Structure 1
Amino acid sequence: MNELSGVLFYLIGVNIFTYILMGMDKQKAIKKKYRIPERTFWLLSLLGGALGVLIGMKAFRHKTKHKSFQYGAPILLIVNIVCFVYLFFYMS
């Protein structure tokens, strides 16, 4: 497995993980249980999981009223894409 496929595998994994956490947090919110901190979602978004956050927001209708998530997640997705494109051209 070359470096590029490793990066792609990582991005898929972190986005699936982030999406699942969004669903879990929504269920915890409904049941009024201990929630996953927002900083966890921000950290995962910075580490490449912004797409998972955005898809989770839409699928679970979760954190859609938070302005920080409405604007911050798409911005971090753009940052993720720019970093991935940079890595793609740097590694090839």
Structure 2
Amino acid sequence: MLAAALFGGLNFWTFAVYGYDKAQSRRGGGRVSERHLLTLAALGGSPGALLGRRLFRHKTRKQPFVNYLKAIVALQAIAMAGLIGWAASAP
């Protein structure tokens, strides 16, 4: 239960940071570093990052950012599949 709440909170925060960065981009204000955005995704906020990119149309063509985010998502999917397989095979 606590893990689900933390996961949801992290993804909400990640989504909000992507929205904030897009707003700052439009205003010409201080920006959030790409490293920070990718770190949030790598810590488990990749669903929020993907949703934020899509809804805010943010960082959609920025390379290599897009490839880094895709790699993070792929690694997390592989890790999750492995974890589910391991849990399913446990006695």
TM-score bin, normalised by smaller chain = 0.7 to 0.9
Q: Greater relative contact order: 1 or 2 (C-alpha under 8 angstroms, separation 6 or more)?
A: 1
Q: TM-score scaled to structure 1, two decimals? A: 0.77
- TM superposition outliers: structure 1 runs of 4+ over 6 Å: 89-92
RMSD of the TM alignment (CA)? 2.1
Cross-structure match for 2:30:
34
Q: For structure 1, list consecutive stretches of 5 or more residues without a partner in the other structure.
A: none
Cross-structure match for 2:49:
53
Q: For structure 2, list consecutive stretches of 5 or more residues without a partner in the other structure.
A: none
Alpha-carbon deviation of 1:11?
A: 1.9
Indicate the percent of aligned positions where both proteins have the same amino acid.
26
Q: TM-score scaled to structure 2, two decimals? A: 0.78
Q: How is 1:7-46 mapped onto 2 (pairs within 5 angstroms)?
A: 7-46=3-42
Between Structure 1 and Structure 2, how many residues are aligned? 88
Q: Which has the larger radius of gyration?
A: 2
Whichever residue aligns with residue 26 of structure 1, its letter is K
Whichever residue aligns with residue 23 of structure 2, its letter is Q
SS at match of 2:48: helix
User: Larger deviation: 25-34 or 80-89?
Assistant: 80-89
- 2:12, 2:70 → 1: CA distance? 17
